[in-house]
Amino acid sequence: MRVMVIGATGVLGRPAVTRLLAAGHEVSGLARDASRGPAIEATGAKPVTGDLFSPTSLAAALRGHDAVLNLATRIPRKVTSKSAWAGNDHVRLAGSAALAAAVRQVDEVRIVVQEGISFVYADGGDRLLTEDAPLRPRGVTASSVVAHANVAALEDRTVVRLRIGTLVGSDAMTSALLAAARRGAPLIMGSRSDWTTAIHPSDAAAAAVAALDAPSGVYNVGAPAVLKGTLGAAMAAAAGVRKARALPKWLVSRLAMAEPMGRSQRVDSGKLMAATGWRCERPAPGPEWFAAE
């Protein structure tokens, strides 16, 4: 299959390209200009120049491809700043709208996979959250729901929308959290006895690749849910601190930027596993999650 990866140099894009190539696919990476070509080539993908926010430019880049994985995000370094998230919202909102418009111009693209997040679920307590569980998009999580709606309008194509759990690994975001923990910052948002769904970036990338074989629909992507205290303990060990500090749930609920992370979300990924055979290679948080790759 000829696959275009948008976001090929990102935390999900790099391992996705590696897995696609290993599976025998022809893989291209979208490069916004010629200067980005070497970075795309370093992943193993062929760079194709195109503008994510221009349907005309993007359509030209998509010609010659059977499928597109949109894994593009722009996660800010300062995650507590609302304005810092504007770039990520723009990528999801304008990028997904342009992608949908571009795909309509390219008949040969039959499969679209769009990234998204599982933080959009309402607090579920101890209940397993399947794809039909109630949503409560708020603040910076709302753009994920809109992005899914934008691509879902492509009713004549196979459109797979992913709700991915918290990425925890050797990536820059996790490294920043661990560094902050060494300075006394909390690693747990909310109650230690609430549930959280995390996943190693390599496993999330494998899910995105597996999604090429899934029917249209929404699919959760996460390792088996664990108690927040369990994930916090694993992250504390990786940070080299004695115990993970927790920000009380009542306080997190009053912080608009943090509130979604304070919910109890026991997300179930059984639908994607049943549809594609995908499984997490790292099902439980431990030292191997934080090892440099």
Under a CB-based contact definition with an 8 Å cutoff, are residues 207 and 272 in contact?
A: yes
CB within 8 Å of 287: residues ≥ 6 apart = 237, 238
In what helix (H) or strand (E) does residue 22 lie, and over which residues does it extend?
Answer: helix 13-22
Strand, coil or helix: 38: helix
24 Rama sector, left if φ>0, alpha if ψ -120 to 50, beta otherwise:
left
Q: How does pLDDT run across 244-255, given as a tens digit for each residue?
A: 999 999 999 998
**What is the percent of the chain where pLDDT is above 70?**
98
Torsion of CA 208, 260, 257, 230, to 10 degrees: -80
CA within 13 Å, CB half, 199: 29
DSSP string, 242-260: SS--EE-HHHHTT-TTTGG
In tens, the pLDDT along 55-104 reads 999 999 999 999 999 999 887 766 666 677 788 889 999 999 999 999 99
pLDDT digits (tens, 9 = 90+) for 169-213: 999 899 999 999 999 999 999 999 999 999 999 999 999 999 999
54: its two tokens: 């221009």
The amino acid occupying position 145 is: V
